[in-house]
Structure 1
Amino acid sequence: MESKRRFYFDYSLLFILIFLIFFGLVMLYSSSSYLSANKFGDSGHYLKLQIRNLLFGLVAMAFLTFVDYRIWKRWGTALYVLAMLLCLAVYIPGLGRASHGSARWLYLGPISFQPSEVAKVASIFFLAMFIEHAPHAMYSVRNIFKVIIVMFPLVGVVAYMNLSTAIILFGICACMIFVASPKYKPFGVLVISAIMVGAIFVSIAGYRMARIQTWLHPENASGDDVYQTLQGLYAIGSGGLFGKGLGQSMQKLGNVPESQNDFIFTIICEELGLFGAICTILLYALILWRMMVIANNAADLYGSLLVVGIMAHLAIQVILNIAVVTNSIPNTGITLPFISYGGTSVSILMAEMGVVLGVSRQIRLDNIR
C-alpha cells in the first residue's frame, strides 16, 4: 500500500512573522503615543488602528494560506487590468485624493486605500503567470524585453503618481525575470533604461527634483523633508549602542514628524540603539531566508516565482526605507514592512505572506532540500 503523502508547512516563517508583528506593535505604540495623546486624546489611537489593519490582513493571510495558490494562475491578467483601472481611478474627481503633491489615495464610499499597493501584488501574480506560461522564452533577450514592455503601462501609471512605488514594481519585475532567465547582459541595459525613465518622471514633478536637491545639499535646504531627515539622523545618532531605553525617545516628541510612519526605524535606533537596529534587520533577513527555502522547494515554477516576487517586494521595501532614514537616498515615503503604521500596505503584505505559506503547504516533505 502506498504510504500517505506528507506535506511541509513553514512554521518557522510563521513564528518569525508573528514575532516581528508584535515587535512592530510595541514600537508603533512607543513612537506614536505622544502624538496620539496630543492629537486625538488617546495614546493608543494609532495602535488600535494598526491592530484593526492587522486583523484584516490576518483574515486575508489565513484565507490565502489554505487556498491552493494555483487557482490564482487563471486570474493573473484580470488582476493586472484591475490594478491598472484602480491606479487610473485616482485621477477621477471625487475618487482620488492627493498626498505630497501626487494622487495616491482612492476613496470608494467608506473605504480608502492606495491602488499602488494593489499594483504590487497584482504584478507578482501577473508576472508569475506570464513567465510560467513559457519559461524557456526567458532565455531570449527579445522575450525579456517583451515582458518589460507588457509591464510598462502599469509601472508608468504608478510612476506618474508615486515614483517610489514604481521603483519597487520595477525591482520586483527585474528580480523575477533574473531568476527565470540565465541571461545577464540585458539587465545592464535594463538598469540604464530604468535610470533614464526615472529621470524623466523626476523632471516632470517639481517636488521630486526638490527632494533630490534637499538630499544632495541638506545644509542649504529648508522645509519638512530636510527637517524630518535631520531629526531622524539625530535620533539614530543619539541612540548609541544600546539606546536610551524603550519609550525613552526624545525625538518622537514632535521632532520627527509622523514618526509612526516612514521614520519609525529612527525611533527604534534611538530607543534600542545599534543593537536593536541590527536585531530588526536580522528578523527581516530570517524571513527572507525562509522564503528563499520555500521558493527553492516549491512544487512548481509558478509557486516559486510567486515567492520570489514577494521576497523581492519585502527586501526592496526594507532596503529603501532604511536607506531613506539614514539619508543614503532621497526621501521617498516608503514604509517599513509590518512595523510602520499603514492600512493598505500592512494588509497587502499580510496577504502576500499568506500566499508564501500557501506555497509551503504544497511542498512534499521528501523533496525538501
Structure 2
Amino acid sequence: MAKRRKKKSSFFLAGTYFDYPALFYVLFLTVFGLVMVYSTSSYKGRVMADDAAYFFKRQAVVALLGVGLMTAISFVRYQKIRQFVYIILAGALALLVLIHFTGESANGSTRWLSIGGFSFQPSEIAKLAIIIYMAHICTQNSKGLNNMLDTAKMFVPPILLIIIIAVENLSTAIICGVIMVGMWYVATPKTKYIIAIGILGLAGILVFILKAGYRGNRIEAWLHPETSENGYQTMQSLYAIGSGGLFGRGLGQSIQKMGFIPEAHNDMIFSVICEELGIIGGIGLIVVFVMFLWRFRIIAEGAPDRFGSLIVVGIIIHVGFQVVVNMCVVTNIMPNTGVTLPFISYGGSSLLFLLMEMGLALSVSRQIRPYREKPLKAMKEM
C-alpha cells in the first residue's frame, strides 16, 4: 500500500508554496477580459442573437473551464509531461493536417475544427506543443545546441508545424516561430546564428506574403490607411483611440463598437478599451501585462531545473510577443493581422489553451523553494 501511495503521489505535487501574485495577474486579466468582451460585444449580441450577453456567456463558460484546467495542471509535476512531449507534438500535427480536410472556414480562412460541437483552432495547441517540445529538446541535448547541424535537426518538428500553420494563418505561424527561436536563443545565446535564422525567417514570410495577394493589400493599407480600400478597420480603430482622449468616454459608452469596427470584441478590442477607458486605461493595461511578465520571469529564474525554466520562458515569449503585435496592429505601427490580445480578446480556444499554459507555469512555481539556495544539481543544469 505504501508503494502504491508513493507511485500515485509522484505524478502530483503536494508542496506548500504557491505563487499567488502570478495567480492574481492571471485571474485579473481574465476577469478584465470578460468585462471588456461584454462591453465590446453587447451591441453585436443584441443585433445577432437578441442577447447583449451572448458572447460574454460563451466566453465566461470557457474561462471557468480554463481556470479549472489551470488549477488541475498546476498540481501536476511538470517533469512528467516530458513523457508525452512527442504525443502532444504528433497530436498537434495531426489536427493541423485535419483542418485541410474537414476544417471550418470564416472570413476567408480555414482555421477551425469542430469536434462534438466545440470549435477550436489547432494552432493554439501548436503553440503549447512547441513550448513543451523546445523546453524538452533544449534540456535533453544541451550540448547539441552549440552545433548548427544538430540545432537544425531539432528544429524540424516545430518548423513542420509552423509551415502548415502559415498556409492559412501567417500571423500565428510567426508567433510560433518567435517562440521556437526565442527559447533556443535563451538556452544558448548565439548571436550570429540568430541573425542567420532571422534572415531565413524574413525570407519565408516574404514568400507567404507574395503567395497570397490579400497579405500584400494589408501592407498597402498599413502604409496608406486613409486612402486604401482595405484601411477601413485600421482607420476606425484609430478613431476609437483618438476619441477616447485621456480618460475615455466611460465603460460601455463606446460608439465605434456599434458596427463601425468589425469584430470589435476580437482583434481590435484594445482600441475600444482606449475609447472607453482612455489612454490612462490603455497604459494601465500595459502596466499590468508588464507586471505579469516580470512575475513570470521570477518564476523562470527560480525554477528548480532547466526544463521548468524554459517552459516559463516560452510562455513569457508567447504572451509578451502576442501583446506587442496586437497593440502595434491596433495603433497601425505594423500591418493588420489577426492576432488576439491574450486574456482579453474574445476567443474560446485562445483563452482555454492560454490558461493551460498558465497551469504549467504555476506547476513550475509550486516547486520553487523560496528563501533557500538552489540545489547544486539544479544550478549545474541551468
TM-score band by shorter chain is over 0.9
Give 1:15's aligned amino acid. F
Mapped to 2, the partners of 1:313 and 1:274 lie a distance apart of 25
Distance 1:368 1:332 in 2: 45
How far 1:142 sits from its partner (Å)? 3.3
| Structure 2 partner of 1:324 | 329
Q: Which residue of 1 aligns with 2:212?
A: 205
Report the 3-state secondary structure (helix = DSSP H, G, I; strand = E; otherwise coil) of the residue aligned with 2:119: strand
Distance in 1 (alpha carbons) for counterparts of 2:303 and 2:89? 24
The residue aligned with 1:277 is 282
Kindly indicate whether residue 46 of structure 2 is the aligned counterpart of residue 37 of structure 1.
Answer: yes
* Correspondent of 1:302 among 300, 307, 311: 307
Partner of 1:245: 250
Is 1:215 equivalent to 2:222 in the alignment? yes
Contact 1:6–1:364 (CA<8 Å) still a contact in 2? no
Cα pair 2:40 2:272 within 8 Å, conserved: yes
1:141–1:183 contact (8 Å) kept in structure 2:
no
- 1:61-85 Cα offsets, whole Å, 9 max, x none, are 0111011111101111111111111
Q: CA deviation at 1:6?
A: 6.9
Q: Secondary structure at the match of 1:107?
A: strand
CA distance in 1, matches of 2:226, 2:64: 43
Structure 1 contact 297–367 (Cα < 8 Å) conserved: no
Alignment counterpart, residue 201 of structure 2, candidates 190, 194, 213? 194
Equivalent residue letter for 2:245: G
Structure 1 residue corresponding to 2:71, chosen from 41, 47, 62: 62
Match of 2:293 among 288, 291, 297: 288
Query: Over the residues paired in the alignment, what is the CA RMSD in angstroms?
Result: 1.5
Change (3 A) 1:205 1:33: same
Question: Do the aligned partners of 2:15 and 2:366 also contact (CA within 8 Å) in 1?
Answer: no
Q: 2:27 aligns with which of 1, 12, 18?
A: 18
| 1:348 to 2:353 alignment | yes
Q: Is the 8 A contact 2:249 2:276 kept in 1?
A: yes
Give the % identical residues: 45
- The answer to whether the 8 A contact 1:244-1:270 is kept is yes
Structure 2 counterpart of 1:195, one-letter code: L
* 2:96 and 2:123 in contact (8 A); partners too: yes
SS at match of 1:329: coil
User: 1:111 offset after TM fit, Å?
Assistant: 2.2
Name the residue aligned to 1:132.
Answer: 139
Aligned to 2:36: 27
Higher mean alpha-carbon deviation, 76-85 vs 98-107, is at 98-107
SS state at 1:91 partner: helix
Distance 1:262 1:203 in 2: 24
**Structure 1 partner of 2:108:** 101
| Cα offset, 1:28, TM superposition | 1.4
- Correspondence 1:268 to 2:273: yes
TM-score, with structure 2 as normaliser: 0.91
**Which residue pairs with 1:361 in the alignment?**
366
State the match for 1:71 in structure 2.
80
Whole-angstrom distance in 2 between the partners of 1:214 and 1:75: 44
Shift of 1:149: 3.3
Supply the distance in 2 between the matched residues of 1:359 and 1:71 (Cα, whole angstroms).
12
- Alignment gaps of 5+ in structure 2: 1-13, 375-382
Q: Is the 1:241–1:274 contact (alpha carbons within 8 Å) kept by the matching residues of 2? A: yes
User: Post-superposition shift, 1:7?
Assistant: 5.2
Q: Is the 8 A contact 2:15 2:367 kept in 1?
A: no
Q: What TM-score do you get using the length of structure 1 for normalisation?
A: 0.94
